[in-house]
Chain A
Amino acid sequence: MSIDNNQRLQNLKWRVMDRLIAAKETLPREWYQSQPNWLGYVLIVPGVLLVSFLFVGLLLLAGYSVLTFDPIEFIVYEFTLENWRNFLTTEAYYRIFARTVGMATLITVLAVAMALPYAYLTVRTENAVLRKLLLVCLFVPFFTGVIVRAYGWMIILGQNGLVNTGLGVFGIGPIRLIGTEHGVIIGLLQIMIPFAIIMIAPAIQNIDRSLELAASSLGSNRLETFWYVVLPLAAPGIAGATIVVFTLTSATYAIPALVGGGRVDFISNVIYRALFNMANYPLAATFSISLVVVSSIIVLGIFRSIGTGTLGVTEGGTHE
């Protein structure tokens, strides 16, 4: 009997609850929904200010790009499209832009491809010593500045450097690496691979290990498991790594300037020279705006095609 009573009591409770909820739904939502937490908005103010300054800076750059340059008077506040005309009609600038985008794409593909197995091994290895070693190798490069690393590569890749000395043992070379695209690719890869690993590793960490075991038990070998299970599930990390590596590479300066020996210019090198050697701020502003526009279009293209990856956020959903 007591069970029946309990059941009736429970049913009554649910009916009351249903009525209350139905009554609540008839009220205006503002009456029962919690007020927004204004503290959250306060906390994002620094971020908003930072981004605002960035946009203000871009607007100023855009303004500079239509001002007149004079070698003696410096900037003449007269409107001109001469800088844009110069940029758009000079073949050399097209070549440098094409090189920048092309090599940034190549570096991105290579860096992500090399980072994937490294990140996978770092996350999945059961050998603690190996994991620590991989982590040390990953983070040690960050302790050294890019300029120092560039000079290091100049020593390693030089005519009498480590690489050519090693090749000489086998009767090869010396081959010229400084001042070539090959040298720049090597130098940039060493800088960019750690960034790619850092972006990809969390995505691999989030892959359910049992999915790999399931694939294995269904007959897949390790390579197939990696290709058909790990790679698709690591796509968010790959997307994030792609965006980060591409944007960093397309704006890189030191490696092309030093390892490239001035012969493999990226657009950043041209901007630097326009600023400091020619003191032509309007032209430098034109290049800068162009780089931002081109990079943004490419990154937006990546967003549209493979998503924002680990850089992105969930859609959030509604309050209900």
Chain B
Amino acid sequence: MSEEPTREAVAESRRQNRTTDFSRRGFIGANSAIVLSALAGCIGSSGDGDVTLDPDNPPEEPDSITVRAWGGVWQDSVEEAIAEPFTEDTGIDVEFDNTERTVMQGDIRTAIEQDREPAVNVMWTVEPAAHEEYRMDLGYPLEPDIVTNHEELFDSAIPNVDDSLPYISLYSYTYALCYNEESLEEVHGSEEPMDSWAALKDDQWENEFAIDANGNGFFPVLSEFADTPLDSDDLDPIWDELEAFEPSIGLLGDDPTLTEGIRTGEVSVAAMLMNNVYEAYEEGEPIGWTIPEEGATVRSDSMYTPRNQSESELYWSQEFINYAADADVQTEWTELLGLPMTNSNTDPLDYMEEDPAYPTSEEDYDGLLTVDLDVYAENSSEWFETFNNTVGS
């Protein structure tokens, strides 16, 4: 096991790099920034139509940048692992906005339509949504020479698009079958979870299964059972499978709702992010997770920079994303967040290595289920509608 550098050493290394960069760029860069700022002020535009990000001429640092974030451990881990060293190195404060990602997507879209600056400088969201927002042209492409750490990421963390880098994915997770052992014992007399998702079609699991409010994380499983790809013209076999599972679904909700549902035993099993119950598991609560034989959906979370930012905010927001992809930063982040990172030079934690719920290498992804992101972007609204009409009505 290699010796991990301390955060101070990492920060010092970055500081030296930055000092070297500035000495090289020096006077010309600073003057260019002033000229560009003055020009931008004269034109009075907040749009990014005329922005060109030049890594050799970084613009002046803004006072702060805003990152959309999930609350709780998600924001705390980013604050400690990424924001603090970023602020230490650059002097830029990092603020967080906990607006729900779906609401923020609308806010960004509206801001761009109205030629306003968006509410956030860095959009931290789920990978399918990041791809959808790329397709909607809401993001300003990441500059590969600024987000240099993208070269160290797994291939799966880089979007498969033609000629740009719209976003990068930073860590992965699975919608594992999470369970409450005591509830399992009450329902079927054993603390051991089922080997297959198919068991949940049985009557004894009526109302014992929890799932994301839109069915996120379960569509690929339904697709497996129906033997029908999600991009098929006829999705009826998939919806027939959903009908078969429907009596078992007793709770729909967001992450906190599902987590609480499993912790309190409101339901016995859930298809949910396993790291949401990791803390409870560590505290000795009778909770666990497994990957059934059909597999489980794997997903990532991504970051991108929305359009219509000032050049300064755009540049340093991309620099922030580069920090988030840095191997040393990701090493600390993975400890705080409890999820496997996508930088191939990041050492996964010991408990992740043997657990298929934590994909720590390219090969690990092969046994998990995914959704084609273009198919998701084009069809997910219809899937959600059908799912909710089936389960919610």
Contact = CB atoms under 8 A, between A and B. Distances in A.
- Please determine whether chains A and B interact with each other in the same assembly: yes
A178 B378 contact: no
Given A179-B207, A277-B102, A262 B264 contact: no
Contacts of B132: 71-72
Contacts of A258: 253, 257
A274 B389 CA distance: 11
Interface residues of B, number: 35
A279 B105 contact: yes
Interface in A186-212: none
A270 B392 contact: yes
Interface in B363-393: 377-381, 384-385, 388-393
Interface string B91-132: 000000000101101100100000000000000000000001
Nearest to B386: A92
A111 to B, nearest CB: 24
A279 B393 contact: no
A279 to B, nearest CB: 7
Given A74-B109, A92-B393, A280 B253 contact: no
B106 A276 contact: yes
A265 B266 contact: no
Contacts of B377: 71-72
Interface residues of A, number: 35
B142 interface: no
Given A273-B214, A276-B100, A263 B392 contact: yes
A155 to B, nearest CB: 8
Interface in B169-210: 207
Contacts, number: 95
B15 interface: no
Contacts of A269: 392
B135 interface: yes
A96 B393 contact: yes
A261 B384 contact: no
Contacts of A90: 389
A176 B136 contact: no
Interface in B339-385: 377-381, 384-385
B381 A158 contact: no
Contacts of B253: 258, 261-262
Contacts of A72: 132, 135-136, 377-378
Nearest to A281: B106
A92 B387 CA distance: 11
A67 to B, nearest CB: 14
B249 interface: yes
A115 interface: no
A88 interface: no
Contacts of A179: 207, 250-251
B251 A71 contact: no
Contact of B393 (A69, A71, A95, A276): A95
A158 B264 contact: yes
Nearest to B252: A262
A278 B266 contact: no
B260 interface: yes
Contacts of A154: 260
B392 A176 contact: no
Interface in A91-107: 92-93, 95-96, 99
A274 to B, nearest CB: 8
Contact of B265 (A74, A96, A160, A265): A160
Nearest to A269: B392
B226 interface: no
Given A71-B380, A160-B264, A261 B389 contact: no
B376 to A, nearest CB: 10
A309 B213 CA distance: 41
Contacts of B381: 69, 71, 277-280
A262 B391 contact: yes
Contacts of A264: 392
Contact of A263 (B252, B379, B385, B389): B252
Interface of A: 69, 71-74, 90, 92-93, 95-96, 99, 154, 158-160, 176, 178-179, 258, 261-265, 269-270, 273-280, 283
Given A71-B379, A273-B213, 19 more contacts: A69-B381, A72-B135, A72-B378, A74-B136, A99-B393, A159-B265, A159-B266, A262-B213, A262-B251, A263-B249, A263-B251, A265-B388, A270-B388, A276-B102, A277-B102, A277-B213, A280-B381, A280-B385, A283-B385
5 contacts: A265-B393, A270-B388, A273-B214, A274-B385, A278-B381
Q: Across the A-B interface, give the 10 residue pairs with the lowest CB-CB distance, nearest first.
A: A262-B252, A92-B389, A278-B381, A92-B393, A265-B392, A276-B102, A261-B251, A95-B393, A72-B135, A159-B266
